Amino acid sequence: MTASNTTPNNASQLGQSSAADGSGGLSAPAFSPLYQQIKAQILQSLQNAEWQPGDVIPSEFDLAARFGVSQGTVRKAIDELASENLLVRKQGKGTFVATHAEHQVQYRFLRLHPDVGTVQSEGPAERQIIWCRRVRATAEIAKLLGLRTAEPLIHVRRVLRLGGVPTICEDMWLPAGPFKGLTVEQLSSYPGAMYSLFESTFGVRMVRAEERIKATTPDTETAALLDVATQTPLLNVERIAYTYNNLPMELRRALYRTDTHHYKNELN
């Protein structure tokens, strides 16, 4: 009785998700293990906002019962989601939906760190919104965000001061639809990180990002904002941030001063 498996193998009552699964190829039947299907189910619940950021999700045994699999299988699914920073496990307490609002890390995607030996204990960044405008997508921006040219966008420009020094000047482009109603007042008064605001107010959770870095010099306007000469070499960091389903939701083009800070990257 006990030693026989539940089903011969692949997909039975568990419908394979229909949307893009990123496999690309189309020849192979593409065997998908049970835990991957469970993972897709959990992901679906996250996308559907069935569980909110910060919430506890059901226990491993509950989920196992719900999906009709063993706890170990659910565990493996959650393991992967946790390693992708979509879920956070806390022993003895439960498994939680990850959130940008965790006070521990203010800027999860910011890789700019103060040089050691120079200014330290600089505290939180001071943020200054330069503007927040409605614009239309250029062909270039539309392509990067997966939109059509001339679709409405919100364009935000801001400066961050670290340790009192203007260090970062960034432009952000957001699709107007999901961010309808975003105002300078919100951006200025919100106490947490910008992605935390997006999460709580607009239900858009940034999950992953890609950055492309070049060296450049600022135009006169940006040079003034950063209080540097126009020939000062700066890092040009272009970021595309993605929400669930690899959907790009933000384009950000930032200039970093690197006289007292550096961009840190770990290579494995």
Partner DNA sequence: CAGTGGTCTAGACCACTGG
Partner DNA sequence: CAGTGGTCTAGACCACTGC
Binding stretches for DNA (CB under 7 A): 2-6, 8-10, 31, 33-36, 57, 59-62, 69-73, 75-76, 89-95
Least separation in angstroms between residue 169's CB and a second copy is: 14
Minimum Å gap between C-beta 29 and DNA is: 9
In the complex with DNA, the residue whose CB is nearer, 73 or 167, is: 73
Q: Which is nearer to DNA, 75 or 127 (CB)?
A: 75
Instruction: Give the CA distances from residue 166 to residues 110, 222, 251, in Å, rounded to whole numbers and listed in that order.
Output: 16, 11, 21
Of residues 83-112, which lie at the interface with a second copy (CB under 8 A)? 84-85, 108-109, 111
The answer to the question of residue 213 lying near a second copy (CB under 8 A) is: yes
When the beta carbons of 72 and 177 are compared against a second copy, the nearer one is 72
Supply the minimum distance, in Å, between the C-beta of residue 30 and DNA: 9
Go through 13-51 and write b for each residue having 16 or more CB atoms within 10 A of its CB, e for each that does not: ebeeeeeeeeeeeeeeeeebebbbbbbbbbbeebeeeeb
Taking contact as CB under 8 A, which single stretch among the options 18-26, 126-134, 197-205, 212-220 is the one that binds a second copy?
212-220
For the chain, the C-alpha Rg in angstroms (whole number) is 22
* Residues whose CB falls within 8 Å of the CB of residue 108, separated by 6 or more in sequence, listed in order: 100, 193, 195
- Does residue number 2 form part of the binding site for a second copy (CB under 8 A)? no
CB atoms inside a 10 Å sphere around CB 180: 10
Instruction: Work out what residue 258 binds among DNA, a second copy, none; the CB cut-off runs from 5 to 8 Å by kind.
Output: a second copy
- CA dist 138 and 142 (Å) reads 6
Give the separation between CA 84 and CA 79, rounded to whole angstroms: 9
